[in-house]
Structure 1
Amino acid sequence: MDDLKISKKKPSFPITEKLDRYLSEYNRNIELPIFYEDLLRFQGAITVYDKDDEDTLWLRVYYNDYEREEIDLSLKRVYSNLVSDGNDKIFQFLSVDSIDFCTFGNSQPFRIKVRNILNDNYTHFYIKKADASRVYGLELEHMLSPNSLNFLVYKNTLIEEHIAGIPGDVFIKDMLPNCTSSEKSQIAKEFVKFNERCMIRLLGDMRSYNYVVIPTHDFDQIVYKVRAIDFDQQCYEGKFNIYRPQFFKENQTMVKLVKEKISDTSIDQYKVEERSIIAKRVISYKKRLNKLIDCMIDDEISSKENVEQLGSIIYNYTLDMNFRHSNSMGEILKHGLDFVKRNYEDVNMKKLM
């Protein structure tokens, strides 16, 4: 556990022309009326506290009056493009209630709260610096996880929809102790699947505050799902355990829960289930996924040392020489997904024989 450390400052990787073309082909790229840098021109800020008067690490920023009107209009247009067809008829019903800025983490996002003045319903979206790692992470999440994602990219600006849920660290501290025994078993199962999913698609740094737990009422029970919300550490680190949430000390309560509630046989079963689901998604998204990975193979989203280290470690697990000979994170991911897909197809072929 002691040597499991995230690189203190992952560099931001630019959007290449090839990735930009991919984003345009799949309607992720759209001309926006405002850039990330435009929001940095705030004139002041106050600390945002939670209901317990604790610092949330967010700052509520404000702008000069003559700029705020233009910024509000631009943000309404961004919101309309993100969730609708870009029509400006809805602007009169929208209010930009707040703009918050977070200096914690690599992306340093702005969080925009948009409210419908007719019924007081509100939602959030985020404006961040566009980073190729994060874009790859978002697209892979959209294709390989149970969750669809909505985001837009324009030059150096990334717009992300808000992912609703209870932050993992808050859930573990405040809600997990009050869950029933059957609910804890279900949560443990979901964490096993989440752990497997992150490992296969090489999504790193899933400490408890980088994912959410989503409770959904279903007849006479509550169904819990675990969902990633931070995609900054997609295919960057060289240490394989960085891509396995179970090895972070922040997740030890969840790991302990898995040991208490699920047998080794069931853990293996849930891992196989998740790999099979991912294999089906790889097949379903074959054309789009191949194009994305082709962009990743030609892209530089990590260091040569990290690529060599990760390739060697995964080779030790799989004995597949493709990993050892990989020259990019894109190649490692490709071989990993091919490995999962091949095993799935082999099992199904044996069933037919």
Structure 2
Amino acid sequence: MYTPFRSGYSRGEPDRPSRKKPMFPVSQALRGFLKQHGREVKLPVSYRDLQRFTYSVPLKDKEGQDTHWETVVYDMREWEYIREGLVRIYALLRTEGDMTFSKHLDVARIDYCAFGNSQPFRIRIVNKFNDNYDHYYIKIADASRIYGLELEHMLSPNRITFLTNNHSLVEEHIPGIPGDVFIQQHLNRPDTNKIRIAKEFVKFNERCFVRLLGDMRSYNFVIDITPDIEDYQYRIRAIDFDQQSYEGRKNLYLPQFFKENFPLVETTLKHLNKDSIQQYQTEERTMMTFRLVSARYRLKELLDIMGKDTISTPEKLHQLASELSEMHHNHKGLLRARNMGQLVKEHLKVCLRKNLLLIPRFQGRSED
């Protein structure tokens, strides 16, 4: 059973994410999982340390437009401690803590964004020899987001590097053109291969729905463009994982239904027929199945922990389970889920069981 790919947006569309999602604490069981897999490490600087800035100034883009970010400034008595700690965190992300190359690294700028659930600090690290720079983020540790990051690492074509420590979450920067910028400035350029971007949007739509990652509006994903033989390949990557299996409406897990993504939906329906769309949906579910098999022990451990955790409300759980069950021909297993973690696990089974049974070692094991 494949989700029909169509435009569901109209003015007054009720499918909007919650304006403010609550933060969910990291449980002891999840903390143990993170330690076991090298995610939980002692950080020299915490999120709370970064909150002690003295003042901030609005950050503008190259056209002088507001970016929703502010550049923050610290008292000089604290700056040296913060600067050294942030360089060390970068070394933890990039070289597993090897400080051999840290002497030519420095913190060029720290930006803060109060817009959004995670209220991130963006750290710009610069190489003093050649002025090349890189970014990473420090955010409030939220269980929803951590589950989302782990599921992205295991079930998508993208590997994710992140670290946690108590109330702090450190994430690497995910490079790419923001989806809203791509739609405005690149989608209709003559050198954009609209068939390939349509194909990738179908696959991205499928990935989000199968693992129940919500709120993938255009500014919550980026598009990575790779030159290929005589043309370009495209990869859409999620960059915001706050809405991992939180909302109650099924359509919020399908990027095709957000008005911000309508130009991509329109492009897809114009350039791909029904058979091609179903082919790409099948391809993505097949690849997700192979990834699931490869990471099955780690994934089972995570889903077992997630299945005992609270990352949404009973009302949203009941609504989503009911809508998914109806979509999957009144599937009873979805209705038996007692929380969002169990619902994610059951939805993976429902969506990928057919593909899983084509793998010889899993034939006859439909209940695993």
Query: Where does 1:288-327 land on structure 2 (aligned, <5 Å)?
Result: 288-318=298-328, 319-327=330-338
SS at match of 2:71: strand
> Per the alignment, in what secondary structure is the counterpart of residue 60 of structure 1?
strand
What's 2:30 paired with? 19
SS at match of 2:26: coil
SS in 1 for 2:16: coil
Q: Secondary structure of the residue that 2:349 maps to in structure 1?
A: helix
Helix, strand or coil for the counterpart of 2:88? Answer: helix
Q: How does 1:1-353 map to 2 (within 5 A)?
A: 1=9, 2-180=13-191, 183-318=193-328, 319-347=330-358
The question of whether the paired residues in 2 share the 8 Å contact of 1:80 and 1:88 is answered with: yes
Residue 348 of structure 1, CA deviation: 5.7
Opposite residue 91 of structure 1, the aligned amino acid is: S
TM-score (norm: length of structure 1): 0.97
Q: CA offset at residue 347 of structure 1? A: 4.7
Question: Helix, strand or coil: the match of 2:101?
Answer: helix
- Residue by residue, what CA displacement relative to the aligned partner does 1:5-32 show, whole Å, maximum 9, x if unpaired? 1111110000000000000111001011
- Deviation per CA, 1:145-167: give whole Å up to 9, x if none: 00000000000000000000000
Write the distance in 1 (CA, Å) between the matches of 2:98 and 2:201: 40
Partner Cα separation in structure 2 for residue 292 and residue 348 of structure 1: 23
Once the two structures are TM-superposed, the CA of residue 219 in structure 1 deviates from its matched residue by 2.9
- Using the TM superposition, give the Cα deviation of residue 256 of structure 1 relative to its aligned residue in structure 2, in angstroms: 0.3
Percent identity between matched residues is 46
Measure the CA separation in 1 of the matches of 2:96 and 2:165: 17
Q: 1: distance between equivalents of 2:52 and 2:114?
A: 15
SS at match of 1:344: helix
Question: Per-residue displacement from partner, 1:232-282 (whole Å, max 9, x unpaired)?
Answer: 100100101000000000000000001100001100111111111111111
Query: Structure 2: where are the runs of 5+ without partners?
Result: 1-8, 364-368
What displacement does 1:55 show?
0.5
The structure-2 alpha-carbon separation of the partners of 1:283 and 1:51, relative to structure 1 and needing over 3 Å to count, comes to same
2:4 is aligned to none
Matched pairs, number: 349
Q: Classify the secondary structure of the residue corresponding to 1:178.
A: coil
Contact 1:58/1:100 (CA < 8 Å) preserved in 2?
Answer: yes
In the alignment, the residues of structure 2 paired with residue 328 and residue 317 of structure 1 have an alpha-carbon distance, to the nearest angstrom, of: 19
* Residues 279 and 340, structure 1, Cα contact 8 Å, conserved in 2: no
Q: Conserved in 2, the CA contact under 8 Å of 1:279 and 1:337?
A: no
Write the letter of the residue equivalent to 1:34.
V
- The AA in structure 1 aligned to 2:255 is P
- Letter matched to residue 203 of structure 1: L
What CA distance in whole angstroms lies between the structure 2 residues aligned with 1:5 and 1:206?
11
Give me the TM-score of the superposition, normalised by structure 2. 0.93
Offset, 1:116: 1.1
Deviating runs (4+, > 6 A) in structure 1? Answer: none
AA of the residue aligned to 1:10:
K
Matching residue's letter, 2:337: S
